[in-house]
Amino acid sequence: MKRNEGIDDMRLRNKVAVITGGANGIGFASARRFLEEGAKVVIADFDSENGKARAIQLKDKGEIRFIYVDVTDEASVLQLMNETVEQHGRIDILINNAGILADATLLNMSSDMFDRVFDVNVKGVFNCTKAVAPTMIEQGSGKIINTTSVSGVYGNFGQTNYAASKAAVVGMTKTWAKELGPHGINVNAVAPGFTLTEMVETMPEKVVNRIKKQIPIQQLAEPRDIANAYLFLASDEARYIHNHVLHVDGGIIM
């Protein structure tokens, strides 16, 4: 059975998507998923070695390239967006996926740890969205999807900096939804729960098992689960979804 009448079987056919943090984990899964649905993908990452390798790995699946970016550097972000527009003529989708951790309890967290996380997780999202907004406004369309976290909504032990940064992403999402919505730009966020990325895979098995017990469905998310949420919000199927934070967390906070 085909999807709803009038919706292409390839949900992102010829859409141009920029995915920050696309060299690993959820970002890489999203690059793969978007290519499967017909998008032209730019993997944007600080990790040049992995970024280039990932683009080569996916080259048979569609049109993809890697562009180096430091999301904390405004000039680097502008170069990313300019190169993308020069090649493709437009940017339809921005996935603000790049993010870092520097966990410690409050009394053990340094100012440097706090600042580093905010530079990437907050300033990076600000820089990328500000840089892409003029292109999307000129087009009269666009999808901006920010990555927050259940930690940003409910807090988490040992994550003062991370939880605060992800809460800030929710606030920016809701503000930009008000500012950019009248220009035909949908702005939403995804709040993943615990996901089987490279970082989680290095955790002791007993810790992972303890986390699983907190999740009603008794399993961690796969990166593709989060990528599918990005895909839905980036597609025309979500054209009337705006100013929303979509939790993809297995019901961990129930």
Residues catalogued as catalytic? 162
Q: Which of 245, 243, 237, 248 is nearest to 15 (CA)?
A: 237
Residue 244, phi-psi category: left (phi > 0), alpha (psi -120 to 50), beta (remainder): beta
Taking the C-alpha atoms of residue 129 and residue 183, their distance in angstroms, rounded to an integer, is 14
| Alpha carbon distances (Å) from 22 to 39, 65, 98, 201, 223 | 14, 11, 8, 18, 12
The residue with tokens 């978007």 is 34
Q: Tokens 């049109």 — which residue?
A: 63
What's the CA gap between 206 and 227, in Å, rounded? 27
- CB neighbours of 49 closer than 8 A, spacing ≥ 6? none
